[in-house]
Structure 1
Amino acid sequence: MPSVNNAQEPHADPPQRNRRRAIVLSVLGVLLLVLAAGSWYVYRGLTVPVQQEAPTVEVQVSAGQSVRSVAAELHSRGLIRSARLLEWYARVTGQTGNIQSGYYALSAADSARSILQRLTSGAVIDRSLVVTFPEGWTIQQISERLDARGIVEQQQFAQNAVMQQGYRDLEVLGDLQDEQDLQGYLFPDSYRFEPDSNARSVVRRMVNRLAQNLPHEWQQTLAEQGRTLHEVLTLASIVQAEALEDDVSEVAGVFWNRLRSGWRLESDATVNFALGTSKRQPTFADTYVEHPYNTYRFAGLPPGPIGNPGREAIEASLDPPDSDYFFFLHKNNGDIVLSRTFSEHLAAKARYLD
């Protein structure tokens, strides 16, 4: 056993080693603090909403918009804490290409991660508007309603509601020449459009709706009759303007008989179209206006439709009923009175209207 006198004290660490240990511990401490702070920054930035309560705001994401641009927009609107953090998170999770275009209702009370989830799942809001065009409406009336609803500017629609090369693939427009207006070919119906829609796409939808509502085998029927679709739509537009709800077929029969017999149609609706008026009974002087659409002056059909007819008027004009009536009038209660001769018509007028 060594003697007490021979025992040695442990060697003390050199000062340099102590300094190294202190530095290492300090660095580790700093790294831990940075890691903790970074973790809190990421956690807070992705999972903690900017506000506890906040209203929703509408945000548009355009087709092809980058995740960086989207994140910057969200940050500028006060919806997320950090644009860079959201962009980084989208990249590391492989979601940069999954963001879908559209309009979103987002809130600062939602976390950044939940907002990104909505953007990638396509949880868009429906901003579409339902707009209805009554049967017989003209291009002018349609364009005014589209403009009033914020769907298409009136001038833009009018400029695109004419035949052009971009519509040559639409079979029902085959009778038209370039720059000829599409009056009669814009089917009156209820549609759902997005605000600020493309004018040409709106026109195409309305023309396609016409094609969908034409009677089955309409082309064969026209070929057998020796008529064109343009002629049928022109007649249908007059029938639409002259008939009431329950007598479309009867009115079509009267005008068809007049056409086949070479008579003037003598339609008040065509006079109103020529003059830009809406009189129930044009004056005698009105019927003498020199205008190609005035069917009191010119026999046969006018150059084109005076409005956009509905399905019933089109079907009645494509296949009119057999009858021997050449005149009609409406009583004050709306009932139709049909006559075979002019003398019968005058008698009916004296009895029911004068």
Structure 2
Amino acid sequence: MTDLTTDPPSGAEHDDEYVVIPPESSRARKVAWVLGGIGAFAVLVLLVGGIWLMRQIDPAGAGEEVTISIPKGSTTSQIASLLEREGVVTNATVFRYYVRWKDAGPFRAGLYDGLRKRSAMGDVVSRLEAGPLPPKYTELPIPEGFWLQEIRARILETFPQMSAAELDVALADIRSRYQPPSASLEGLLFPATYRVEEGDELDEQKLVRQMVSTFEEVASELGLDQATQKLEGVAGARQLTPYEVVIVASMVEEEAKVPEDKPKIARVIYNRLAAGMPLGIDATVLYALGEHKEQLTRSDLQIDSPYNTRRFPGLPPTPIASPGRESLEAALNPAEGPWLYYVLTDEEGHHYFTDDYDDFLRAQRDARARGLL
């Protein structure tokens, strides 16, 4: 009988039933240590980098106040470099990314005060977004009704460093689209207050061009280019060119004292043209004389000039002043009425209008009696 409990023979090999576990490898320990070291170093770098970045964004202790000027056309990158050069921010590159992160800008050109050296970038962005200081400028006021020679004198008086000869060249060379070939710019420089910013180069050509372009913009807006169509139903105004309507507007400018009289005076001019009557406007005589006077003498009224509308029927050859917006609008949109005459009725400048000559003479006597004429 066989004994099933008998131990295996001594020395027998059973490799398929036993596994030998080797000792732990020293290489694995080294890899773990390296990875741990790298992780710790990365954390340290991030920590140090974060501290450095925060110090760039918000450095401690802002310094003295700085005023900077951002040139026209500057990019955000150029502004950042300017701020770094002036010591306002500590790092231009960081500032550029900060602006992008905040979705700030673009920033306007101009002069900025209230900045400090080593400012927090948030403060810098807030100041730039508030906009520059109002520009310093010199005002050039050109009143309505000025003659061309008066405008020239006002420019040279306001800007004595300008060249009179260069200004004359500009006035001769620059043309308006409403200007006939042989005419000057009389009446075609818009009366307004112009501003020349401090630091801008004084340029006679640029200034005159601005005054011409301003007139053209206003005139176009009012419909001067369509003058023939706008005045088609107005006797005496049919077939007038835009330039001739400016001539009418210039007379309205000189004759009217209050805005509400302007469309009526324009109608008187057109009614007289339709009737073939001399316009009889004293302002044209003053223009012919080349001087402003309170009273015209009998010899003044006899001056032999195409501008003397007491002697010669029709329009004068050119405008006699710079008309403003209201006078241009009145010439293009005259009031409805049969009037041929007007007389001053009060010191505020209102006129009495009539189409009866005897009524006109009566009103004239009354005005003289009250010291208005």
Structure 2 length as normaliser, TM-score? 0.61
For residues 61 and 279 of structure 1, the distance between their equivalents in structure 2, rounded to whole angstroms, comes to 49
Q: Within 5 Å, which residues of 2 pair with 1:125-136?
A: 125-127=133-135, 134-136=143-145
Q: Within 5 Å, which residues of 2 pair with 1:84-163?
A: 85-86=91-92, 88-89=93-94, 100=107, 102-109=109-116, 111=119, 113=121, 117=125, 123-127=131-135, 134-139=143-148, 160=170
Amino acid at match of 1:102: A
1:252 matched residue in structure 2: 266
Note the aligned Cα RMSD (angstroms): 4.8
Contact map agreement 2:188 2:212 (CA 8 A) in 1: no
1:353 aligns with 2:368: yes
1:204 aligns with 2:219: no
SS across alignment from 1:250: helix
For residues 211 and 40 of structure 1, the distance between their equivalents in structure 2, rounded to whole angstroms, comes to 60
2:246 matched residue in structure 1: 233
1:317 aligns with 2:331: yes
Change (3 A) 1:206 1:158: farther
Post-superposition shift, 1:208? 0.6
Change (3 A) 1:75 1:297: farther
For residues 275 and 254 of structure 1, the distance between their equivalents in structure 2, rounded to whole angstroms, comes to 24
1:184 aligns with 2:196: no
1:281 aligns with 2:295: yes
For residues 301 and 292 of structure 2, the distance between their equivalents in structure 1, rounded to whole angstroms, comes to 14
For residues 103 and 148 of structure 1, the distance between their equivalents in structure 2, rounded to whole angstroms, comes to 28
Post-superposition shift, 1:103? 0.6
1:293 matched residue in structure 2: 307
Amino acid at match of 1:127: P
For residues 78 and 181 of structure 2, the distance between their equivalents in structure 1, rounded to whole angstroms, comes to 45
Change (3 A) 1:46 1:75: farther
SS across alignment from 1:106: strand
Aligned residues: 306
For residues 323 and 297 of structure 1, the distance between their equivalents in structure 2, rounded to whole angstroms, comes to 25
1:63 aligns with 2:78: no
Change (3 A) 1:185 1:128: farther
User: Radius of gyration: which is bigger?
Assistant: 2
| Alignment match of 2:275 (pick from 253, 261, 271) | 261
Structure 1 length as normaliser, TM-score? 0.63
CA offsets, 1:123-143, max 9 Å, x none? 333428787654434455556
1:80 aligns with 2:88: yes
Change (3 A) 1:108 1:243: closer
CA offsets, 1:250-306, max 9 Å, x none? 322322222223332221111222333222322222223344433234321112212
Contact map agreement 1:132 1:189 (CA 8 A) in 2: yes
For residues 164 and 66 of structure 1, the distance between their equivalents in structure 2, rounded to whole angstroms, comes to 38
Specify every segment of 5 or more residues in structure 1 that has no aligned partner in the other structure, as ranges: 1-31, 168-172
For residues 49 and 295 of structure 1, the distance between their equivalents in structure 2, rounded to whole angstroms, comes to 77
SS across alignment from 1:105: strand
2:318 matched residue in structure 1: 304
Specify every segment of 5 or more residues in structure 2 that has no aligned partner in the other structure, as ranges: 1-43
CA offsets, 1:27-75, max 9 Å, x none? xxxxx9xxx9xx87994797356525x3x63624132579569846874
Amino acid at match of 1:62: K
Amino acid at match of 1:183: E
For residues 163 and 279 of structure 2, the distance between their equivalents in structure 1, rounded to whole angstroms, comes to 32
